[in-house]
Amino acid sequence: MKTSIHRFSVVFAAASLTTLAGCDDGITEPLRIGATMSQTGAYVTQGSAARNGYLLCAEDLNRSGGLLGRPVEFVIYDDESSQTKAQALYEQLITEDRVDAIMGPYGSTLTEAVAPITEKHRFVHITPLAATSSIWEQGRHHLFMVLPPADVFLAGLITLAEEHGYQRVAVLHEDALFPHAAGQGAARLANEKGMEVVFNQAYPSGTSDFSHFLQEIAAAETEVLALAASALDNFVTITEQLKALDIDVKMVGNSGAVDEFQQALGADADYMFGLSAWEASVPLPGSHAFVAAYQERFQRAPSFHAAGAYGSCQLLAHAITSAGSLNSDAIRDVLLNTEITTVFGPFKVDKRGYQIAHQGVFIQWQDGEKRVVWPPQQAVAEPRIPMPAWQDR
Q: What are phi and psi of 300, to 5 degrees?
A: -165, 160
Report the distance separating Cα 213 and Cα 175, nearest Å: 14
More confident residue, 116 or 283: 116
**pLDDT, tens digit (0-9, with 9 covering 90-100), for 245-276:** 999 999 999 999 888 899 999 999 999 999 99
Single out the residue of 91, 102, 107 nearest to residue 46, CA to CA.
107
pLDDT of residue 327 exceeding 70, the answer is: yes
The pLDDT, as a whole number, for residue 22 is 35
pLDDT of residue 356 exceeding 70, the answer is: yes
Report the distance separating Cα 286 and Cα 313, nearest Å: 14
The pLDDT, as a whole number, for residue 55 is 98
**pLDDT, tens digit (0-9, with 9 covering 90-100), for 273-314:** 999 999 998 989 999 999 999 999 999 999 999 999 999 999
**pLDDT, tens digit (0-9, with 9 covering 90-100), for 339-353:** 999 999 999 999 999
More confident residue, 164 or 27: 164
The pLDDT, as a whole number, for residue 12 is 33
Q: How many percent of the chain have pLDDT more than 90?
A: 89
The pLDDT, as a whole number, for residue 6 is 63
The pLDDT, as a whole number, for residue 193 is 98
Q: Strand pairing of 273-276 and 361-366?
A: antiparallel
Q: What are phi and psi of 83, to 5 degrees?
A: -65, -45
Task: pLDDT band for 24, please (50, 70, 90 cuts).
Answer: very low
List the end-to-end C-alpha distance of the chain, in Å, as a whole number.
50
Q: Compute the mean pLDDT over every residue in the chain, rounded to the nearest whole number.
A: 93
377, exposed or middle or buried, with CB in 10 Å at 0-12, 13-18, 19+?
exposed
**Do the Cβ atoms of 331 and 124 come closer than 8 Å?**
yes
The pLDDT, as a whole number, for residue 172 is 98
Single out the residue of 328, 336, 331, 312 nearest to residue 121, CA to CA.
328
The pLDDT, as a whole number, for residue 359 is 86
The pLDDT, as a whole number, for residue 393 is 85
pLDDT of residue 17 exceeding 60, the answer is: no
Neighbouring C-beta atoms of residue 221, cutoff 10 Å:
12
**Do the Cβ atoms of 280 and 287 come closer than 8 Å?**
yes
The pLDDT, as a whole number, for residue 263 is 95
Task: pLDDT band for 26, please (50, 70, 90 cuts).
Answer: low
Report the distance separating Cα 205 and Cα 355, nearest Å: 27
Task: pLDDT band for 381, please (50, 70, 90 cuts).
Answer: very high
pLDDT of residue 13 exceeding 60, the answer is: no
Set out the domains of the chain in order of their start, with CATH numbers.
2-149+281-347 (3.40.50.2300), 151-280+360-392 (3.40.50.2300)
Task: pLDDT band for 374, please (50, 70, 90 cuts).
Answer: very high
Task: pLDDT band for 28, please (50, 70, 90 cuts).
Answer: confident
